[in-house]
Amino acid sequence: MPIRCKRCRAALSEIYIPYARLNLCPDCFLKFYTSKVKRTVEEFKMFRDDDVVGVAVSGGKDSMALLHALKYGFPKLSLKALHVNLGIANYSAHCQAKVEKLVESLDVELHIFDLQKEIGITIGDFKRTPFKDKLCSVCGTIKRHVFEELAIRAKVKVLATGHNLDDIVAIMFNNFLYGQWEQLVRLKPVLPPLAEGMAYKVKPLIKCPENENLLYCLYGNVPFREMECPFSSGTGVKKKARIIETAAGDNPYFKHQLLNRFLELIPLLERNKPQKSFKTCQICGFPSLDQICAYCKRLSLVWRAMGKA
């Protein structure tokens, strides 16, 4: 027998949310999702209605769903989209086109940092450096720096990323296994700015499983990339995600439980962690633990490999 939506009781249910034991029709699912994102923003005090919030949009389902849900969940918010074009053949143009399509339909200002145009490199150029087998990791370092730069350019106080529940518990679990406590702490839902004038980092999708972000895009007509990054590799984090999936079995609460325990652990870790003093990178002027920051070190490597340094 067809099941009716548990919220409106009129339409037929098409989606089952196992941890909430909810059968929902598409319209009620879209409302369920945006109100969950809203509640997460409010629970962790990620931003206020009158803030200027930048959303780092890659073109992937998570960050595209995030931008769309924030636009509808917080109609008064001043939103800006920030995109990094990584110069990866075919893939990056495809991602940027999807981002442009979404921002146009939502009437959101878009700021793009194109690695090739602005600094003369692409992520593929790192194949000529010792990072050749770690393109994803070097890409992460480059993106984190560029997000800060884009946030300053776009004058946003808060920078939201689309990290989802599955990503976060897998990365937390990986950091936990290797005792990487500082990296674990950096996954908390709200990270204060590293220095004055820089942005807060927030993760409004911390409680949204990956499949809900996908369903939100599909049912909400939100465009998203249909290609995989050619450099994405089976990193350790992906393996940890599979371990978590297996351990969860048919327990629908498992990932939420893991997340909650890690979130309880973070304040304890922070209390005991030695205070690190940041210096200023001698090249770019951003906060850094060394004289030269990780971003500038990697840039000089790639420029040297390309004969540009």
Using CB under 6 A as the criterion, which residues of the chain lie in contact with ligand AMP when the complex forms? 56-58, 62-63, 82-84, 86, 140, 143, 161-163, 167
CB-based contact 67:109 (threshold 8 Å): no
User: Residue 159 binds what, of ligand AMP, ligand FES, Zn ion, none (CB under 5 to 8 Å, by partner type)?
Assistant: none
64 counts as binding ligand FES under rule CB under 6 A: no
The residue (of 22 and 119) whose beta carbon lies closer to ligand FES is: 119
Cα separation values, 259 from 63, 93, 222, 270, Å: 20, 35, 27, 17
69 counts as binding ligand FES under rule CB under 6 A: no
Token pair for 164? 């989802």
Binding map of ligand FES across residues 259-278, x = CB under 6 A, - = no contact: --------------------
Least distance in Å: CB of 295 to Zn ion? 5
Nearest to 131 by CA among 306, 283, 9, 302: 302
Least distance in Å: CB of 46 to ligand FES? 25
What's the CA gap between 103 and 105, in Å, rounded? Answer: 5
**Residue ranges of E strands in the chain:** 15-17, 22-24, 52-56, 78-85, 109-114, 158-160, 190-191, 200-202, 279-280, 287-288
146 counts as binding ligand FES under rule CB under 6 A: no
Please name the residue that has the structure tokens 């598409």: 26
Least distance in Å: CB of 284 to Zn ion? 3
Least distance in Å: CB of 3 to ligand AMP? 32
**Four-residue CA torsion sign, 293, 141, 164, 272:** negative
Least distance in Å: CB of 64 to ligand AMP? 9
Considering only 22, 112, 136, 237, the residue that binds ligand FES (CB under 6 A) is 136
Judged by the rule CB under 5 A, the positions of this chain that interact with Zn ion are: 281, 283-284, 293, 296
